[in-house]
Amino acid sequence: MIQLLYRLIMFTVAFYGMNMSIKAQVDQHKEIFNTLKVNDSLIFERSFNKCETHYLKQLIAEDFEFYHDIGGLETSKEAFIKSMKNGICNPNNKTKSRRELVEGSLEVFLLKDNGNVYGALQNGVHKFFETTNGKEVAGSVAKFSHLWVLKNEKWVLKRVISYDHKMQEQPIVDGVEISNKLLDTYIGQYQAKETGLVVISRTEKGLHINAGQMSADIYAKSPSLFAHKQAPLTFEFVSDSQGKITKFIVRENDNIVEEAIKQ
């Protein structure tokens, strides 16, 4: 009887200890999840949407690497911040980009060494939007994986993988009407540094672009901004003070990748 009672006591102690351990792990995961969610907001809501890029200097590791399924590879903190300042945060850009985290998509998986947390993988889905002349339209949607590591008890972003970019399901905004007269001003030959000769022609309801191996119809998102239907590409036509079209700017996932001058 005494032996049975002893076993019951030991089982109760072990069970209680196990429950306390599980609760501690859950609490730790929740705390890290919330911390990295705040960091995500600082990177995108503040740095990307509002161009307060000083947050990037605080949150990004010195050996930072950024892998993009369309835009290529950045292999340093300095290069990434520079591309942000020269791209979406360039004050001369007429189109403003905005990122929105898909609610409920954020996940965090802890990385441990002998039971001690040294990093975490943060996965999620986000959408991008573009505003030109005060009118916002839907852009691309993509998945992301962020590798965060603890350095001197501080979370820093070490690796980013941005992938599965595609246009949102309803990218065309109702009510965008462009006159044939305005569309005709975009027609012509353009010269781009990387692509070479680019030809813009008319379709029944919009424009068509021939550039290298690309031949595609592009649809209007605003009177001066057009988009590719299958790829996260936009084409912004720029005019001079007399209203004459001088060039168009190509953006891929909101980053400037080419500029074509009208001949």
> Do 146 and 45 share a domain, yes or no?
yes
What are 70-83's pLDDT values in tens digits? 888 999 999 999 98
Q: State the alpha helices, DSSP H only, in the chain.
A: 2-41, 54-59, 77-86, 180-186
Range of the domain at 203: 180-262
> Tokens in use for 226?
């057009």
> Do 62 and 136 share a domain, yes or no?
yes
Amino acid code (one letter) for 235: F
pTM above 0.75, yes or no: no
* CB-CB neighbours of 186 under 10 Å: 23
Domain count, the chain: 2
What are 227-238's pLDDT values in tens digits? 887 778 899 999
> Do 206 and 150 share a domain, yes or no?
no
Task: State yes or no: pLDDT of 109 exceeds 70.
Answer: yes
Whole-angstrom distance, CA of residue 231 vs CA of residue 208: 14
Evaluate whether residue 4 is within a structural domain.
no
CA 96 from chain centre, in angstroms, equals: 13
CATH of the domain at 47: 3.10.450.50
> Do 213 and 132 share a domain, yes or no?
no
> Do 82 and 156 share a domain, yes or no?
yes
Evaluate whether residue 10 is within a structural domain.
no
What are 42-61's pLDDT values in tens digits? 999 999 999 999 999 999 99
